[in-house]
Amino acid sequence: MLKLVAQVESGHTPSRNHPEYWVPEDCVVPWFSLADIWQLRDGRQTYLGDTKEAISQLGVANSGARVLPAGTVVLSRTASVGFSGIMPRPMATTQDFVNFVCGPRLENRFLMWVLRGMKPEFERLRRGSTHKTIYMPDLLQFRTPLPPLPTQKAIADFLDRKTAAIDALIEKKQKLLDLLAEKRAALINQAVTKGLDPDVPMKDSGIPWIGEIPAHWEVVPLRRCTKVIDCKHKTPEYVDDGFPIVSTTEVKAGRLDLTSVTRWVGAADYRDMTDNRTPARGDIIYSRNASLGAAAYVDTNEPFAMGQDVVLITAAQSDLLYLSYQLNSAVGMTQVDLACIGSTFKRINVGDIKKIQVCLPPPTEAAVIASHIDLELQRHGALQHCVEQHVTRLHEYRQALITAAVTGQVDISEEAA
């Protein structure tokens, strides 16, 4: 058992009811808490960094908190369960962590990798309905492989090298995903402001963030080419089975995805909430807050109701697929940033949505541009999906390699490395 080769310590919090324990100039002991857990989430950082808070020696002396030696291995056991690292200097932790002071038979880096290899086991051991915890009796039953100390160090060195190489490859893949997102945004913005013909005569739009547009295009407020209908401001009675209700949570830039809906309303609420206009294929659902400024194009005939804080954009003549791309582009989002109100909870008023300036080509050209963007995004999407699959597999391989190495299933000799 792990407790036979390491001293197992729970962290603690000095009482906040005693201000003398929390005098700022006396708080000099680094104190690792859940506020610092971000350092360990991706599994790439070995040693704990600076802590958000510190505690005083008086607080330590009058509580269950302990200053633990450098080299102590920490494991988060509540809320964010299963993240581990090593203290680079004497530190204390909150009760959200269990701490292992390794004895002479246990290499602390090896133990850290063992704990990181136990990630699936932590999922099984978590208890609680809302605040997941691994309780101390379960922690005290932990077992660890215990090869000879030189082998433990060799395994830790091996995993340091191998995971660093995998992490570097994942980082390159992530940079590629970021580049694809930038190219996608640039593609859309170029198409909805300049069109597809590079030789077409241009004119000044008169709007700084738009610049030049094709000479035969117009720049008009959204109210000139569409009808903007606000949602019904009411809280309906939700049911287990009925009509889907779409609110800001479900509205994302792109196509509306009704499979993500988590709430439904009955027939009476559906009729009441759609008395102005029932959303239909070819419309846009636009978010007024939360996913602020996102335009979701309706590509389904399935009936649904609009929840609060979204508006319906409809039109008889304009191509709304094209307009959805325009609203989701940098041109559209710049205007949302200028018009939104609120410091922490930002939103945009219906009147300001109607004032959003859009670049409007003739209807036939707008449909061609929308089809072009669709095809390009399909190509980008296929490449993005491929890269994301690679990243997923690299993460899976990393986790499998850790588990295999600490359980002796991998040859970690220099030749094999």
Whether the CB-CB separation of 302 and 270 falls below 8 Å is answered with no
Q: Is 197 helix (H, G, I), strand (E, B) or coil?
A: coil
Mean residue pLDDT across the chain: 91
Could you list the beta-strand ranges (E) of 170-272. 202-204, 212-214, 218-221, 227-230, 238-239, 243-246, 254-255, 264-265
Whole-number Å distance between alpha carbons of 283 and 70: 61
Please give the average per-residue pLDDT across 335-342, as a whole number: 84
* 85-99, 101-115, 230-244, 378-392: segment of lowest average pLDDT: 230-244
pTM for the model stands at 0.81
Strand partners, 341: 347
Answer whether residue 278 shows pLDDT above 90: no
Predicted confidence (pLDDT) per residue in 147-201, tens digit: 999 999 999 999 999 999 999 999 999 999 999 999 999 999 999 999 999 999 9
Give the orientation angle of helix 108-117 with respect to helix 149-194, to 10 degrees.
50
Q: Is the pLDDT of residue 417 over 60?
A: no
CA torsion angle 194 200 201 202 (round to 10): 0
CA distance 21 to 331: 54
Counting residues of the chain whose pLDDT is more than 70, the rounded percentage is 98
DSSP state letter for 125: H
Q: Is 80 exceeded by the pLDDT of residue 335?
A: yes
Residue 130, pLDDT score = 65
Q: What is the pLDDT of residue 415?
A: 43
Q: What is the pLDDT of residues 365-396, one digit of tens each?
A: 999 999 999 999 999 999 999 999 999 999 99
Enter the DSSP assignment of 229: E
The pLDDT of residue 414 is: 55
pLDDT of residue 217: 96
Instruction: Judge contact between 359 and 331, C-beta under 8 A.
Output: yes
Residue corresponding to tokens 């991998």: 410
Q: What percent of the chain has pLDDT over 90?
A: 75
Q: Which domains does the chain have, with CATH numbers?
A: 2-146 (3.90.220.20), 218-360 (3.90.220.20)
**Tell me, what amino acid is at 335?**
Q
Q: Sheet holding 27-32: strands in order across?
A: 53-56, 27-32, 92-93
Angstrom distances, CA of residue 217 to CA of 50, 158, 201, 303, 314: 56, 62, 10, 35, 21
pLDDT value for 379: 93
Confidence band of 277 (pLDDT split at 50, 70, 90) = confident
If pLDDT is split at 50, 70 and 90, which confidence band does 343 have?
A: low
Q: Enter the tokens of residue 238.
A: 């939700």
Rounded Cα–Cα distance for residues 406 and 150 (Å): 13
Beta 264-265 vs 243-246: how paired, if at all?
antiparallel
Q: Which of 37-46, 119-128, 215-224, 274-283 has the lowest mean pLDDT?
A: 119-128
